[in-house]
Each structure stands twice: as structure tokens, then as C-alpha cells.
Structure 1
Amino acid sequence: MSVVRIGALAPLSPPGWVGAGRQLAAGLELGVRDVNAAGGIGGRPVELLVRDTAADPVRAAEAVGELAGLGVAALVGEYHSVVARAVAERAEASGLPYLCSSAVLDGLVDGQAARVARLAPAQSYGWRVYAEFLLRAGHRRIAVAVAPGAYWAAGVEVLRGCFAAHGGEVVAFDLRGRPPRALCDAVAGSGAGALLLLVGHPDPAVPIVRAVRRDRRLRGLLLGAPAGQPEFGEWLDLLGADGAGVPFLSYLPERLGPLGTRVDAELRELLGAEPSFVAFEGWDAVAVLAAALRVAGGDGVRWPDVAVTGTRGPVRFSRVPGSGVWQWAWPPVRVIDRDPEDPTRWRTLHTA
């Protein structure tokens, strides 16, 4: 019996965020296992061909070409936004359906893509929710530590727009040539009540957290990480109690339904650790892509015709202004943190 090949992309080696890549790969693999247990796609089993992007857009685009040559029916995955953008552009040009599981950059493609869809919320949506959380908490002047990159720059602009609309201000500190101690000096003199880490993990995020926590001038300063660095177990392993009380965006509901609970248990067994929202994005992506291929029946993928019950709710796609792709509008979005009383426990601080 012939198989349906699906190409999967994830950052599984440095400088990619390997922890996120492993979570994504686990979700994809479990999703394929479940699709095959239910009869595959039109009676044909699914075979997942995984390629490591290492957070490199060129390597990812080359992988798309390789996978197309191997006859994949579609592409799925990727975590890093700039890499997902390269995949989306190459997939659209190659005529391959691509379901982006986890990257959030609004401008995933130039213009309007017919074959590209996304499960993760657009960055402008999620980061507006985060700004709303900060504003409701009384913050009107915040600082951001910003690493180079289109994703981080886009995040700064979203935050600035939200704060400006409420008479607030965002003070940005470029990290190039600025070690953690110098950053602490700058933040201490900025008058900001919060510092957001728009940086990679573990470096420089972990050294910055350690420096801030040990600086007496910054006691009472809120540390935040909208991109979700504290979600992963490595954050807790490296920082311990210093990593608690750092709000971030999570794309999981506060309570999972029966399907989500079952998948959660199986992901825990597969990972040997608590699954992050990225793992659930992987499982949902495979379930949605399998449904899309069944509906298409070999005649291309029509994203508006897809309706699937995922681990985090019903998934349907529509056009969202500014994104250019078919979008699930919207997944659950919460601001959560690790409880300072017990850093292994989550606290919900704000819900979209």
C-alpha cells in the first residue's frame, strides 16, 4: 500500500531553540501515530519525513526543495518565524500546501498565499493581549531588551502602538554590545516598571534574569517574556526560583477537554516531561492537515473547507487582515507565569 508522505520542519539543533523543536517534533509524531491508528488518509498510512532547520532560513528552504523531490503531499511545522517565512514562500512557489504550526510573524508571506495556513495566532494579536495585561496591571512605562531580528522588532512595534494608544511609553534597549550588568544600569535609570525579554533562550535570557534578580535597584521590577521562554522545563532547570513570576504568552486553554487531556497524557509519556503548548500545536497541526488532505481528495487543499476538533478547541480557517495566510482566528491565548510559591505550578494572569 502506498503511503502519504508529509514533510515536517523543526529546529532540532543549535542555534535553533532545540527545546521547542523537540516539543514540536513530539507533537507531530504523536499526531501521525493517531492518524494512522484511525485509518490514515483514505486508507493510506502517513509517513512523516522530519528535517532539522537549525533556525536557518536557507537550510529550511533547501529542505522544502528536497521534500518536494521526495513527493510529499504537504508540509507542516516550524517554530522560528523567520524560518517559517522562508518555508512558506518556497512552499507557495512550489505549489505545496504548508500548515505552519507555531510561528507567529504577521508577514509570513508577501501578498496573499493560497496554499499556506497557520495555527498559531498572529504576533500582533497575541502581543496585543500581552500589552493589555500590562496596561491593566497599571504599567505605563516599560523597558524592552531587544535582540536583533525581524520577530523581535515586530514585537516592539506592537507594544509601542498599544502603549502609545493609552498614553504610555516603551523604552527599547538594543542588546548588541550591552552585557547584562550594563542593561541593569540602563533599566534602573529608565523609570520603567517592567522589563520584557525580547531575546533568545537560554542565552542571553538566563544571564539577564540572574543579573536583574540580584540587582537591588531593580527589586519590584516585573520581568516578562511574551515569546514564552519560561514555558519550557529548561528555564526552570537553569533558573529555579529566579525564573518564577515571569509572565509569558501561552496558547493553551486553562482547562483541557477530553481530547486534550488524553493527548496531554500521551505527550508526557513520549517526552518524559510536561508538554508545552508547542507540542499541542504539533499534534493539532497533523490532525488538521490530515483532515485537509482527506477533504481535498488529491485535488489541492482548500483551507476554508477544513473543520477539525483539536486539543484546544474547534479549528477553522479564515483570512485575517495583514497576515496573507489562512489563519485559525483564534487559538486560546493567556498570559501565565510560574507561581513563586511553587515554580512547577502555573498561574493564569490574563485571558484574551
Structure 2
Amino acid sequence: MITEVRPSGPDETNAGVRIGALVPLSRPGWAEAGRHLLAGMELAVREVNDAGGIEGRPLELVVRDTAADPHRAAAAVDELARLGVAALAGEYHSVVARAAAGRADALGLPFLCSSAVLDALTEQPTPWVARLAPAQSHGWRIYADLLLAAGHRRIAVASQPSVYWASGVRILRDHLAPRGGTVIEVDMRESTPESVCDALVEGHATALLLLVGHPEPAVSLVRSVRRDPRLAEILIGAPAGQPELASWATSLGDDGAAVPFLRYLPERLGPLGTRVGTALRERLAEAPSFVAFEGYDTVLVLAEVLRSHGTDRAGIADAWASVQVEGTRGRIRFSRTPDIGVWQWVWAPVQVVDRDPARPDRFRVLRSVACGPPRRVGPSRARA
């Protein structure tokens, strides 16, 4: 089903400029993240059209629900290409974005990926794909450094089968091992929450990282660990960002606090980010996550490309090298980065944060990186 967003524009008699939007809006996708991503894109579309559209033509979104299914996403790319969209935007799940990026590359269809972080977004370098989110290796190394600074050397990971989770384990192991850290992998295909607790005790782990789906088995794992008196001092972490959205706090309450995760926001939003944050809060009826800002910035970049280079697909792809846009979280420009085959914003701001045990609806910034080497914000408050 096509969902077209057509905010009133200055010249509705002209054919609109279409962008295909890939968003997880139903299970087993993380629909809450998809809702935030789409809200950001919709807000930006409305503002672009209020400001005159693309050379007097309204900008439109043609939305497809990927439901976290790579095959469904690839089929959606084929359909959107036939419908004549100028470019693709969006997607939250890395494995799904990888399937969409591969198909977009094969079809010669520009794709600006909003939120997926998997380093190998395509199997080979491509001129057609660009990405706003930082690469997984960049963010997860920052996260690993926080663990080391807090004194963690024996780190367990509860993981499920996935290219994304396997990549995360590899990044952590490669970064921690030379610095004296050990990664103990617990395969969730063969484990229960109770047996994970036993493995943590037997392995003398001081931290458990959740490389699993949300709500399950993540919620059950957190509850089991929190209730096990043998594990009262263990740190629970979720580098992929599960605690960012409100459903985490709703499901876990106080148990969901003090679980560090990655998000891609600056320490302080500038004037644009502050204004957009206010508008997104009104649209979502809750605090916007970083994913909503990624959605807004995606459309902001594409609108600038469409204005400056037109709607020809090859021209859009050529624009990645030269476009510069002041986004909600900093100045966005793309470049080629070693070992990453797509045009990459190097880098979006990175934070490691957790929910404050005293106020689980509030976040504490444990580490913040704008550009250059990681910088800690005050003493680390991650639980040792």
C-alpha cells in the first residue's frame, strides 16, 4: 500500500517530486523506531513544501513498510523504482538497509540511508548510496572504550544470529583484546535468561551486553539479571540503542535504568535542532529519539540535492561528493572512508548515555564525541 504525504505546497498543479521511504512500521520490525524515523521525514517534507517545494513542485513521500524483512525491502526498492521515485530514503535495521542498498546499487537508484550503521552496507563500493548514521565500528569502539575506562575487562555478550550482531561481536573483540579485554559470547539460541545468569557467574563477567532483539529476549534478560543476587554489581549494556525509546522504560521501569547505549546526538542542539525537536515532540506526543532527527536530516539533505542538481538519478548520485547541509545535529557532508563502500557522513555526533536511576525518563550522558578523539563528560557513572 502506498502512503503519500502531500503537505500543501505552493503549486499543487505540478507533478510532485517523489522520494521512496523505507521504514519498519510493523512487527517483527522495531515499529517504534520506524514511527520516529517517519515522523522526522514527514516534518521535513512539510517544511520543504511550505518553503516552496522543489522548484515549485511539491515533495512527496511514497512509504513502504519493510517490517525488518530484507526480502520485503528489496521488493519495495524494485516497486519504488518502477513508480519513478527520484531517490530512496530511510530504513532503521542494518540488515534490511543492506538488502535495500544492494538492490538500489543494481538499479542505479540513489539511496540516502538514515539510520543503519553496518559498516559493509554494500558488498562493493557504490556511487549510488550515502549514509547519515556513523559506521558501527566507529560508535561501538567508543562504547568499548567506555567499558574499559569503567574497569570492565571480562565482558559477556548475549547474541542472536544476525550479520549485524556478528559484526558487533567482532568489533568489540578486535578492539578490546589488545587492551586486555575478553569477550565471552553467549549464544541465545541455546540459552535461557536463567542460563545466561549462570554463564555470567561462571565466566566472572563484570558486564553483559545485549546483542538481541527488543522487546524479547532483551526484557527477560534484564529482569533475570536484575533479580539475581549473584549479579548485583554487573553492568548491563545495550550498544544498539534499545533503551532509547519509551517502550523500554514502559516494559522495564526502574530495571531499565543504568543500561548504557549509543545514540547520535550532540551535547547541545543548535537553533535548528531545538526548533525541530520541539516540532517532533508535538508530532510524536513524546520526546523525539535520535532516529527522528535522522529522518528529518535525510529529507533535508535530499531536498538540497534535488534543488541544486535536479531530479535526474545520476545527478543526485553525483551530488553526494559536493552537498553540504546544516542539519539538526551538525554540518552534513559526505566523503569516502576506508573500508566503507558508500558515501559517509564522517561522523555524526556520538553519545553513550543511560537512563538515570533516579529519573528513568531522563538520560545521563556518560561520554560524548563530536569529532576527533572520544571525550568523557564528567566522571563515568556507568555501574562498575
Superposition TM-score, scaled by structure 1 size:
0.99
- Residue-by-residue CA offset, 1:162-198 (whole Å, 9 max, x unaligned): 1111021111100003110111111111111100000
- Which SS does the other structure have where 1:206 is aligned? helix
- Secondary structure of 2:341's match? coil
- 2:4 matched to which residue of 1? none
Q: Which 10-residue stretch deviates more, 292-301 or 62-71?
A: 292-301
Given that residues 17 and 311 in structure 2 are in contact (C-alpha distance below 8 angstroms), is that contact kept between their aligned partners in structure 1? Answer: no
Aligned counterpart, 1:29: 42
Aligned partners of 2:261, 2:64: CA distance in 1, in Å? 28
Matched, 1:135 2:169: no
Within the candidate set 45, 63, 66, 1:50 is matched to 63
Q: In structure 2, which of residues 126, 135, 138 is the aligned counterpart of residue 122 of structure 1?
A: 135
Measure, in 1, the Cα distance between the counterparts of 2:21 and 2:143.
Answer: 30
Q: 1:321 aligns with which of 335, 338, 347?
A: 338
Decide whether the 8 Å contact of 2:266 with 2:368 is kept in 1. Answer: no
User: For residue 257 of structure 1, what is the aligned residue in structure 2?
Assistant: 270
CA deviation vs aligned residue, 1:13-58 (integer Å, no higher than 9, x gap): 0111111111111111111111111111122110101100001111
1:295/1:305 contact within 8 Å kept: no
- Counterparts of 1:238-277 in structure 2, within 5 Å, are 238-277=251-290
Structure 2 equivalent of residue 341 of structure 1: 358
CA distance in 1, matches of 2:88, 2:351: 28
The Cα offsets for residues 73-119 of structure 1, whole Å up to 9 and x where unpaired, read as 00000011111011111111111110000000000001111010000
**Match of 2:212?**
199
Question: Of the candidates 135, 152, 156, which is equivalent to residue 169 of structure 2?
Answer: 156
Residue 147 (structure 1) aligned to one of 160, 163, 166 = 160
The answer on 1:100 being equivalent to 2:122 is no
Query: Equivalents in 2 of 1:241, 1:19: separation in Å?
Result: 20
- The alpha carbon displacement at 1:297 in A equals 2.0
C-alpha distance in structure 2 between counterparts of 1:153 and 1:42, whole Å: 45
Shift of 1:306: 0.5
Distance 1:187 1:207 in 2: 15
RMSD, aligned α-carbons: 0.8
How far residue 66 of structure 1 moved from its aligned partner, in angstroms, is 0.8
In the other structure, the counterpart of 1:289 is 302
Tell me, yes or no, if the aligned pair for 2:267 and 2:368 is still in contact at 8 Å.
no
Structure 1 residue runs of 5 or longer lacking an equivalent are: none
SS at match of 2:190: coil
TM-score (norm 2): 0.91
Q: Tell me whether 1:231 sits opposite 2:244 in the alignment.
A: yes
Opposite residue 312 of structure 1, the aligned amino acid is R
Instruction: Give me the whole-angstrom Cα distance separating, in 1, the residues matched to 2:119 and 2:223.
Output: 32
Aligned AA for 2:45?
V
- Aligned-pair CA distance for 1:228: 0.3
SS in 1 for 2:63: strand
Output one character per residue of 1:115-143: Cα deviation in whole Å (capped at 9) or x when no partner: 10000000000000100111111111111
Whole-Å Cα distance in 1 between the matches of residues 223 and 143 of structure 2? 23
Equivalents in 2 of 1:205, 1:121: separation in Å? 24
Instruction: Quote the residue 2:98 is aligned against.
Output: 85
CA distance in 2, matches of 1:14, 1:132: 33
Moved >6 Å (runs of 4+): none
| Count of residue pairs brought into register by the alignment | 352
Q: CA deviation at 1:298?
A: 3.4
Residue 189 of structure 2: aligned partner: 176
